Amino acid sequence: MTITRLTAAAALLAATALPALAETGLEYGPRPYYLIDKMDDGPLKEKLAACIGQTPTRTDFSIGHRGAPLMFPEHTVESNMAAARMGAGVLECDVTFTKDKELVCRHAQNDLHTTTNILTTELAGKCVTPFTPANGDAPARAECRTAELTLAEFKTLKPKMDAADKSATTPEAYQGGIAGFRTDLYTNGAQLMTHAESIRLFKALGARFTPELKSPAVDMPFDGFTQADYAQKMIDEYKAAGIPAKDVFAQSFDLSDILYWIENEPDFGAQAVYLDDRYEASDEDEGLIDPMDPATFKPTMQELADMGVNYIAPPMWMLVTVENGQIVPSVYAEKAQEAGLNIITWTLERSGPLATGGGWYFQSIADVTDNDGVYFELLDVLAQDVGVKGVFSDWPATVTFYANCMGI
C-alpha cells in the first residue's frame, strides 16, 4: 500500500473518526431545487417550494441505491459517503462472492468488465469471456466475474462508472460509454468494499442496512458453497458485527432466500425484502403468470403474506398507472395494500432527463412524463397514495428533500 492510495480499510477507519456525519453536515445540493423549478405549477410545486431553506435531516424513507451512482462509482466508499451526506437513512451493498467465497459489494457477480478496470490489468486473463473488439455489426463484449478472483485480487481493481463502449476495438476504449447525464468526475481514487467493510462504514455513517443477495453467475453449489450457505453467510456478517436485526433489510429476487431467512433467521426474516420481478402488470393479482408453470408462477400478494413475507419491492412503474391524465396507484399496488404488505420501490433518479418519457422506470406513465419535475410528481404518488415505506434512488438528496418537506 502506498501513502498516496488509501485502502478501503483506511477509509473506514477515517469514517469512524467522523461521527458528525451521522447527524450533521447533511446537504441537498442544487438538484432538488432544479427539479422543483421544472415542475408544472400547482399545489405540490408550491408545497415543495415552501420547503426550500429547510434543514436536511436523515430519513429511512431515503435509500441509497448502490450509494449515489448518478455521479459516483457504485458500491464504493465514496458513493456511500455521498449518499449518507444527502440524508439517506438506509444504504445498500449488493452482495456477491469471490473465488475464495468472500462476500463483496457488486451489483452483479459478472459486472467487473463494466464497473472496474479489470480489462486493462493482468487479471483480464481470468475473465470467463475475454475482451472481443467490435467488428462490423457485432458489438465489443466481455464478461468478468468476481468468482474468478480471490478477494486479494479483487481488491487490486479500480472501480469506475458502470458503462462500456460497445463500439470499442481496444480494452482501453471499452472503459468509456458513460451516459451523458452521468460523470466520471469522482472516479479517481474510489475504493471497492467487501460486505464486512460496508457494514462498518454504514454503521459509522449512522445508516441502516439493506444488503441484496445477488443471484450467482456460476452454478451452485460453488466448490461446495450452497445457496443456503451463501444466504446464511450474509446474515452471519451482521451478527458478527453486532448489528441488530431490526436495522437490516435483507433483499433477494429469489423467494427461496426470503423463505430461508424467515425460517432460519426469523428476526432478520421479519424484515426481509422480496424483490418481486413480475414485470407484466394486469388487472389480476398474478399478472400474466401461468400458475401451472413452476418456472414462472408467482404467488398472489395474500399468499406472500401468508408465507410470512412482510416487505416487497417492485420497480416504481409497477405501482402506478395513468387515469385521466393523472398518475394513480395500480391494481398491483392496491392488491399489495390489501394484503398488508410493506412496499419499498426502486429506482428514482436512474433515468436521466425525463423529456422523452423516462424509459424503463417510467414505462407505465410515459404518456405524462415530459419533464424532470415528474420525478417529484411520481414520488408524491408513491408516498401519499401507494404508501411506500422507502424509495431507492441514485441521488438520494431528491428523496430526502421530499421526505423532510412532507414530514416523513
The answer for residues whose C-beta is within 8 angstroms of residue 93's C-beta and 6 or more apart is 75, 105, 193, 195, 198, 199, 202, 209, 211, 212
Q: Are residues 185 and 203 in the same domain?
A: no
- For the chain, the domain total comes to 2
At residue 278 the predicted structure's pLDDT band, cuts being 50, 70 and 90, is confident
- Amino acid symbol at 185: L
Contact 234, 250 (CB under 8 A): yes
Is residue 146 in some structural domain? yes
Q: Is the pLDDT at 353 greater than 80, yes or no?
A: yes
In the chain, the percentage of residues whose pLDDT exceeds 70 is 90
Q: Is the pLDDT at 167 greater than 50, yes or no?
A: yes
Q: Are residues 18 and 129 in the same domain?
A: no
pLDDT tens string 237-267: 999 999 999 999 999 999 999 999 999 999 9
Q: Are residues 289 and 340 in the same domain?
A: yes
Q: Is the pLDDT at 124 greater than 50, yes or no?
A: yes
Distance CA 126, CA 135 (A): 23
pLDDT tens string 74-91: 999 999 999 999 999 999
Bridge partners, residue 91, by sequence = 64, 209
Distance CA 159, CA 92 (A): 17
Mean pLDDT of 125-134: 98
- The DSSP code sequence of 323-349 is ETTEEEE-HHHHHHHHTT-EEEEEEET
Host H or E run for residue 50: helix 43-50
Contact 174, 168 (CB under 8 A): yes
Distance CA 288, CA 390 (A): 26
Q: Is the pLDDT at 327 greater than 60, yes or no?
A: yes
What range defines the domain where residue 369 resides?
Answer: 8-93+193-406
Q: Is the pLDDT at 371 greater than 90, yes or no?
A: yes
pLDDT tens string 26-46: 999 999 999 999 999 999 999
Q: Are residues 130 and 228 in the same domain?
A: no
Grid cell listed for 265: 433467521
Residue at a domain's end among 175, 190, 205: 190
Q: Is the pLDDT at 16 greater than 50, yes or no?
A: no
Q: Are residues 72 and 50 in the same domain?
A: yes
Q: Are residues 69 and 124 in the same domain?
A: no
Is residue 101 in some structural domain? no
Q: Are residues 341 and 363 in the same domain?
A: yes
Q: Are residues 170 and 86 in the same domain?
A: no
At residue 363 the predicted structure's pLDDT band, cuts being 50, 70 and 90, is very high
Residue at a domain's end among 140, 166, 190: 190
The CATH number of whichever domain residue 261 belongs to comes to: 3.20.20.190
CA dist 115 → 28, 110, 345, 361 (Å): 26, 10, 24, 22
Mean pLDDT of 192-220: 98
Contact 398, 375 (CB under 8 A): yes
pLDDT of residue 4: 36
Distance from the Cα of residue 396 to its chain's centroid: 11
Is residue 141 in some structural domain? yes
Q: Are residues 242 and 178 in the same domain?
A: no
Residue at a domain's end among 190, 214, 244: 190
Mean pLDDT of 329-337: 96
Between residues 297 and 401, the one the model is more confident about: 401
Q: Are residues 185 and 199 in the same domain?
A: no
The answer for residues whose C-beta is within 8 angstroms of residue 204's C-beta and 6 or more apart is 12, 15, 16, 18, 19, 21, 22
pTM: 0.94
Mean pLDDT of 120-132: 98
Q: Are residues 380 and 268 in the same domain?
A: yes
